[in-house]
């Protein structure tokens, strides 16, 4: 017999919530329009274990909760109340009487929607009833495992991709109209949205959240977001959400000291504080917090059909000392700096997500050296299926910023990553973090003249696209935006009127298409056999050459990171035949200098680089070349 608590909540659900295993707690926590005894109304349910009393306040009672006291549900720490004859659209908050008798007002941690800032009230929203049309997309996902298929992510900040004016944002509907066809035309497989949970400060970019279940009202309603995701799927584009389970902001209406005590952040301020960000970390030892967060991950997939989560700041979650001065260091019971509760949480998170959604992307934004981040939990891993390769990104951006005359002394920066490239399932990120706060845009990191900057960025993108690992590029980088990203202004779309940016844009589009059409670049991405150096040691000339292999094809890549023009540059090739250049970054159509670059090279019976065959090339400065062997054409 199913047992119910007051207002129709199942006792089993509350038990699982207290135990840390309520994977769908959003279905009974928060504000839900329901019918009770034939009467329409809203059921409010809240976790506030140390509160002396809780009331619901809103427009329906003139923000006076004296007649709407919530009922305490046993010893669960949960309060609940059914309010008759109200429904969707009602503004509300919780008025909490703390153990000391202080009255505080809080937004609903489980609110699905809220007032647009600076307002802080929650809004009753019914998320049911949207008619999804993405069955074909889900069938395609199941048929094409992402490990052996292209993954090319376009990272987007919805508040600055395009805007209509100062703080006059595009809605989800308007973004769908403009952004989705653009992303599809450019050849990206996924859009990654920087956080769209409700947050009070635009300049936090969504990483300091007050409403983890609330779709930010800046860009529209929850159902408009559903339409955006549905349209992405109709274009064959997946949607990844930046998800921030590591910390939350301290605004009074948020989670901090929620019932007058630290129930979300935990009792130890040295452990809870995140001084670098001015936020508080979650207490992963608290079962109800685990239920809150894991349910939140499932919520985005259940209700919004999100295809994956990029889990922010994993290194900060798992290291108790991360970004903290020595006087704030705390230790686990073994005497070490590892946050054992966070590690358990991440494992449980991934196990739970993959239980319900086996084809989901769980991406760790992790700058630590923690091993086995993308290994299954049953063999000791954290259970993610991809990890950002921060080492590759830092090495390559450091290398590309060097004057070309200095690169021969730092050749290891472009080759070292292959020593560990297959230790995890990696994504190579060129994200928003690399083009802000004085770091300069990707184009402006490149040294040299105006023309050399563009040539080197094309070269860098070529190496990025052909290096093992999936790909991520931040918006605006596809046309070589000169300025840093400005979060309060829209991207510099007007630069596409200039030839250098227009041809860079065309180059990136062509490179994206090449990636998707060449199985050698993704079919065996997590297998060391997919990569073979032709010449890794040519530091003196700052040239590298290598082979990428798929199941039945291969490609040959040559990259010249120097200012020198090399004629008759010879490389070994694995098979005899005619090698056709299908991408040359120095082609005039991409802003290069070659009007009629040589397209085909017949291999010669000249042993070179450990191969019996070789070809002799013209290799201009800052040039990336991509070759395939013409099918059936052999000596």
312 is catalytic: yes
| Catalytic option among 155, 192, 312, 424 | 312
Q: Is the pLDDT of residue 600 over 60?
A: yes
Residue 617 lies in a domain: yes
238 falls within a domain = no
Q: Which of 59, 39, 46, 38 is nearest to 17 (CA)?
A: 46
Question: Would 318 be classed as within a structural domain?
Answer: no
Q: State yes or no: pLDDT of 485 exceeds 80.
A: yes
Q: Residue 584 pLDDT more than 60?
A: yes
Predicted confidence at residue 634, as pLDDT, reads 55
- What does the alpha-carbon distance between residue 588 and residue 111 come to, in Å, rounded to a whole number? 54
pLDDT tens per residue across span 192-233? 999 999 999 999 999 999 999 999 999 999 999 999 999 999
In angstroms, what CA-CA distances link 341 with 1, 41, 65, 320, 350? Answer: 35, 39, 37, 11, 14
CA gap 237, 512 in Å, rounded: 14
Task: For residue range 529-555, list pLDDT tens digits in order.
Answer: 999 999 999 999 999 999 999 999 999
What ranges in 372-498 are assigned the alpha helix state H? 390-401, 412-415, 442-445, 450-466
pLDDT over threshold 70, residue 633:
no
d(CA 124, CA 598): 64
Q: How far is the C-alpha of 506 from the C-alpha of 591, rounded, in Å?
A: 9
Of residues 8 and 418, more confidence is placed in 418
Catalytic residue among 365, 366, 395, 478: 365
Using alpha carbons, select from 164, 154, 155 the residue that is nearest to residue 490: 164
Catalogue the E-assigned strands of 6-161. 30-36, 39-47, 53-58, 71-73, 78-84, 91-97, 103-106, 113-114, 122-123, 152-156
Domain count, the chain: 2
**Residue 145 binned pLDDT confidence (cut-offs 50, 70, 90):** confident
User: pLDDT class for 7, splitting at 50, 70, 90?
Assistant: confident
d(CA 635, CA 625): 23
Q: What is the distance in angstroms between the CA of the first residue and the CA of the last residue of the chain?
A: 78
Query: Could you tell me if residue 40 is inside a domain?
Result: yes
User: What pLDDT is stored for residue 5 in this prediction?
Assistant: 72
Contact (CB, 8 A) for 83 and 56: yes
pTM above 0.85, yes or no: yes
Out of 96, 123, 150, a domain closes at: 123
273 given a catalytic annotation: no
Q: How far apart are CA 467 and CA 464, in angstroms?
A: 5
pLDDT one-digit tens code per residue, 104-135: 999 999 999 999 999 999 999 999 999 999 99
Closest to 404 (Cα-Cα) out of 436, 446, 342 = 446
| pLDDT at residue 1 in the model | 45
In a domain, 355, yes or no: no
CA 309 to chain CA mean position, Å: 6
Q: What pLDDT score was predicted for residue 598?
A: 85
Give the CATH number of the domain where residue 28 resides: 2.60.40.10
Q: Are 608 and 574 in contact (CB under 8 A)?
A: no
Higher per-residue confidence, 211 vs 597: 211
| Domain membership flag for residue 406 | no
| 503 occurs within a structural domain | no
CATH number, domain containing residue 609? 2.60.40.1180
pLDDT of 46 strictly over 90: yes
| pLDDT at residue 635 tops 70 | no
Mean pLDDT over all residues of the chain?
96
Mean pLDDT confidence for 415-434 = 97
Residue 555: phi and psi, rounded to 5, are: -135, 155
Interval 471-495 mean pLDDT: 96
Range of the domain at 572: 529-629
Compute how many other C-beta atoms are within 10 angstroms of the C-beta atom of residue 626. 23
Give the 3-state secondary structure of residue 253.
Answer: coil
Last residue of a domain, one of 67, 101, 123: 123
Q: Where does a domain end: 123, 143, 172?
A: 123
What pLDDT, in 10s, does the model give residues 58-98?
999 999 999 999 999 999 999 999 999 999 999 999 999 99
For residue 383, what are the CA distances in angstroms to 190, 243, 293, 375, 377? 21, 16, 17, 5, 5
Note the pLDDT tens digit of each residue in 373-413. 999 999 999 999 999 999 999 999 999 999 999 999 999 99
DSSP string for residues in 63-74: T-GGG-BPEEET
Q: For the chain, how big is the Rg over CA atoms in Å?
A: 27
Which run of H or of E encompasses 14?
A: helix 11-19
Answer yes or no: is pLDDT of 3 > 80: no
Residue 356 lies in a domain: no
Contacts of 486 by beta carbon, 8 Å cutoff, 6+ apart = 160
Give CA–CA dist 26/574, Å, rounded. 57
- The total of other beta-carbon atoms located within 10 Å of residue 203's CB is 8
């Amino acid at each position: 017999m199913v047992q119910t608590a007051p207002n129709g909540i199942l006792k089993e659900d509350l038990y699982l919530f207290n135990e840390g295993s309520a994977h769908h707690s959003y279905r009974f926590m928060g504000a839900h329009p329901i019918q009770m005894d034939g009467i329409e109304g809203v059921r409010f349910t809240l976790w506030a274990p140390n509160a002396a009393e809780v009331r619901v306040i809103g427009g329906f009672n003139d923000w006076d909760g004296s007649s709407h006291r919530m009922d305490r549900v046993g010893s669960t720490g949960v309060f609940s109340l059914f309010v008759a004859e109200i429904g969707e659209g009602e503004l509300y908050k919780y008025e909490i009487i703390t153990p000391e008798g202080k009255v505080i007002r809080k937004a609903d941690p489980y609110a699905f929607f809220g007032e647009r800032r600076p307002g802080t009230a929650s809004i009753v929203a019914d998320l049911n009833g949207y008619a999804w049309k993405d069955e074909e997309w889900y069938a395609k996902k199941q048929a094409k495992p992402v490990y052996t298929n292209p993954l090319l992510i376009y990272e987007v900040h919805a508040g600055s991709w395009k805007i209509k004016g100062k703080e006059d944002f595009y809605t989800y509907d308007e973004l769908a109209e403009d952004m989705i066809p653009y992303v599809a035309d450019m050849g990206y497989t996924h859009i990654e949205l920087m956080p769209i949970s409700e947050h009070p400060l635009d300049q936090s970019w969504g990483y300091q959240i007050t409403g983890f279940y609330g779709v930010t009202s800046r860009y529209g309603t929850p159902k408009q977001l559903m339409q955006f995701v549905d349209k992405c799927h109709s274009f064959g584009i997946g949607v990844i959400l930046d998800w921030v389970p590591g910390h939350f902001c301290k605004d009074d209406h948020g989670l901090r000291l929620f019932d007058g005590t630290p129930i979300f952040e935990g009792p130890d301020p040295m452990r809870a504080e995140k001084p670098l960000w001015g936020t508080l970390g979650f207490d992963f030892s608290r079962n109800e917090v685990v239920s809150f967060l894991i349910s939140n991950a499932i919520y985005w997939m259940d209700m919004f059909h999100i295809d994956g989560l990029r889990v922010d700041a994993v290194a900060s979650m798992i290291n108790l000392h991360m970004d903290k001065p020595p006087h704030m260091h705390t230790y686990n019971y073994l005497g070490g700096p590892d946050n054992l509760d966070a590690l358990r949480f991440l494992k449980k998170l991934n196990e739970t997500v993959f239980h319900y959604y086996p084809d989901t992307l769980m991406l760790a934004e992790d700058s630590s050296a923690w091993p086995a981040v993308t290994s299954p939990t049953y063999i000791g891993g954290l259970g993610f299926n991809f990890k950002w390769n921060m080492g590759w990104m830092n090495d390559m951006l450091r290398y590309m910023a060097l004057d070309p005359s200095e690169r021969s002394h730092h050749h290891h920066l472009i080759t070292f990553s292959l020593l560990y490239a297959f230790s995890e399932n990696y994504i190579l990120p060129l994200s928003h973090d690399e083009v802000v706060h004085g770091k300069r845009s990707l184009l402006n990191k490149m040294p040299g003249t105006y023309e050399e900057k563009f040539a080197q960025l094309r070269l860098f993108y070529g190496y990025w696209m052909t290096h093992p690992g999936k790909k991520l590029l931040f918006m605006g980088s596809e046309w070589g935006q000169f300025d840093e990203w400005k979060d309060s202004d829209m991207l510099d779309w007007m630069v596409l009127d200039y030839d250098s940016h227009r041809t860079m844009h065309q180059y990136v589009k062509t490179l994206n298409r090449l990636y998707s059409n060449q199985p050698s670049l993704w079919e065996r991405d997590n297998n060391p056999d997919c990569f073979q150096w032709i010449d890794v040691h040519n530091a003196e000339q700052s040239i590298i050459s290598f082979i990428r292999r798929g199941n039945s094809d291969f490609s040959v890549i040559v990259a010249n990171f120097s200012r020198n023009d090399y004629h008759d540059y010879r490389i070994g090739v694995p098979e005899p035949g005619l090698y056709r250049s299908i991408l040359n970054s120095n082609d005039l159509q991409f802003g290069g200098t070659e009007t009629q670059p040589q397209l085909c090279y017949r291999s010669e019976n000249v042993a070179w680089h450990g191969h019996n065959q070789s070809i002799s090339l013209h290799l201009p400065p800052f040039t990336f070349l991509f070759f395939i062997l013409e099918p059936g054409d052999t000596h």
